[in-house]
Structure 1
Amino acid sequence: MSEPRILTERRGHVLLIGLNRPEKRNAADFELLTGLAEAYGELERDPDIRAGLVYAVGDHFTGGLDLADVGPRVGPDGLSFVSDTGVDPWGVSGRQRTKPVVVAVQGICLTLGIELMLAADVAIAARSTRFGQIEVARGILPFGGATIRFPRTAGWGNAMRYLLTGDMFDADEAYRIGLVQEVVDDGEQFDTALAIAERIAAQAPLAVQATLASAFTAVREGDAAAEARLQPTLARLAASEDARIGMQAFLSRTPAEFVGR
């Protein structure tokens, strides 16, 4: 039997989600897409999991979409790969995730790999990583959110420079335009990303999710919609057990052990 396309492992309160098709540069066939959506569903459902870390097995994060496998599955309404128990990792269809995701990339990171970073919250890149949003060279367009998030993240000119040419760029350029938050020496990207995911997971889960939800609301519905929910959300959080634990930790100057209630 072949190994699963997606590996999952619980590391404390962090769910590790590994792309596992290294012999094909982790190119995403239909099995990998559906497996990744199921892993995001697991992240969403498990109350003990507070953050996710997406990484890749082997030398490369992803060579992009396996068009030979996925292409014939694109129908009149596009491509459907998310089941009732899954969550779209690219956040462009169905229900949205509510928990933070950190991504660690290395080697080649093409197309849907960049879009996965853009759809996540924090991205760490190995120094030798090479990026490319090359859909226009294949006769298609980015359909995982790059046309929406890349200009918002990098600015219009920086985004169009790569979206419309398909040119490759390096980790320093990815950092300059804001696609990644840190560039580290090769081999250090996983540990650095895990440390960040664990820092997030150590905070009050309800507060982390509320913070993320507020930011999502501002982006998707506008500032006014997010502003209208700030005070009601604050009141709800202030009445939580975690708020009491946080105050006790502050007063006693000891680390807080949050319970997510």
Structure 2
Amino acid sequence: MEESKKAGEVRMERDGAICVIKVDNVAKKNAFSPEMMEQLAQHLTRFEEDDSLWVAVLCAEGEHTTAGLDMPKFFGPTATARPRPDAWVDPFGLKRRATKPVIAVVQGITYTIGIEIMLACDIVVAADTARFGQLESRRGIAPLGGAHFRYLTRTGWGNAMYHLFLCEEFGAQRALELGFVQEVVPYGQQLDRALDLARRICRNAPLGIRATKEAALKYLEGGEQAAIACIPQIREKVFASEDFKEGIQSFIERREARFQGR
């Protein structure tokens, strides 16, 4: 099958006590289809529920982490998106969240949901090629995967609003300064470095590590739950707007959007 015609997928591999979850839709810069999002959630759930797996590494094939959602498949007339069961681990950490360590690996384009998924992980290793952008409001929508509060918890109000309002790209070193990523390494070394960190984590008692993460999540829970509760209101207000329709149409037509504020 030609590369351009292959359906994207998310695979899971085992390496001892380490679980490697790999996104593969290279022909579309690893844009996520609804089916790929389901696969990611299923793999994270398997990882969470298998006591023989202690650490997960989430990565992507090719030069780029992800260009974001395959928009027409989520919002267009042929959309195939459907709700995921609450019992599954949520890749965005808005519902059920993994209680074991998850390390994200990023490189190249890491847009929108790519940032939100990595911020729902615990540690991020970035290649020096990584480029980040929370671009939803340039497309007539708003972040719905946790960016509206995780930017705050990582960077503080000013830095969060700076990037959420401008919707402009920033690089790996800026992400390191913000605390979005914990290490920046030369391109090609990012997965090996993440696996090295995973192996070092596995030298420690898994029950102690898990208890530590669960306790830390308890500390965050109150503020995060209030922010998560706002998401249906954001969706109702923004997705009913003319600007939303214009944003999707401009994306499909690959042109600059002309927003009117209604």
- Which category of TM-score, normalised to the shorter sequence, fits these structures? 0.7 to 0.9
1:38/1:85 contact within 8 Å kept: no
- The Cα offsets for residues 225-261 of structure 1, whole Å up to 9 and x where unpaired, read as xxxxxxxxxxxxxxxxxxxxxxxxxxxxxxxxxxxxx
Q: State the partner residue of 2:249.
A: none
Aligned length: 218
Q: Percent identity?
A: 40
For residues 174-193 of structure 1, the aligned pairs below 5 Å read 174-193=175-194
Q: State the partner residue of 2:232.
A: none
2:72/2:78 contact within 8 Å kept: no
Note if 1:91 corresponds to 2:93.
Answer: yes
Q: CA RMSD in A?
A: 1.9
Q: Provide structure 2 residue ranges, at least 5 long, that are not aligned to the other structure.
A: 224-262
Q: Which of these residues, 38, 41, 45, is aligned with residue 37 of structure 1?
A: 41
1:62/1:108 contact within 8 Å kept: yes
Q: 1:203/1:3 Cα in 2 relative to 1: closer, same or farther (>3 Å)? A: farther
2:40/2:91 contact within 8 Å kept: yes
2:59/2:106 contact within 8 Å kept: yes
- How far apart are residue 20 of structure 1 and its match? 0.7
Q: Which of these residues, 61, 64, 78, is aligned with residue 60 of structure 1?
A: 64
Structure 1 runs (4+) deviating above 2 angstroms are 1-4, 72-75, 79-86
Distance 1:67 1:159 in 2: 25
For residues 1-261 of structure 1, the aligned pairs below 5 Å read 2=6, 5-72=9-76, 80-83=82-85, 86-93=88-95, 95-221=96-222
Q: Provide structure 1 residue ranges, at least 5 long, that are not aligned to the other structure.
A: 223-261
Q: 1:131/1:41 Cα in 2 relative to 1: closer, same or farther (>3 Å)? A: same
- How far apart are residue 4 of structure 1 and its match? 5.8
TM-score using structure 1 length: 0.79
- How far apart are residue 74 of structure 1 and its match? 11
The structure with the largest alpha-carbon Rg is 1
- The Cα offsets for residues 182-214 of structure 1, whole Å up to 9 and x where unpaired, read as 000011110111111121122111101100001
- The Cα offsets for residues 25-45 of structure 1, whole Å up to 9 and x where unpaired, read as 000110111010001111111
- How far apart are residue 97 of structure 1 and its match? 1.5
Q: Secondary structure at the match of 2:207?
A: helix
Letter paired with 2:195: L
Q: 1:169/1:74 Cα in 2 relative to 1: closer, same or farther (>3 Å)? A: farther
Distance 1:207 1:82 in 2: 30
Distance 1:74 1:159 in 2: 34
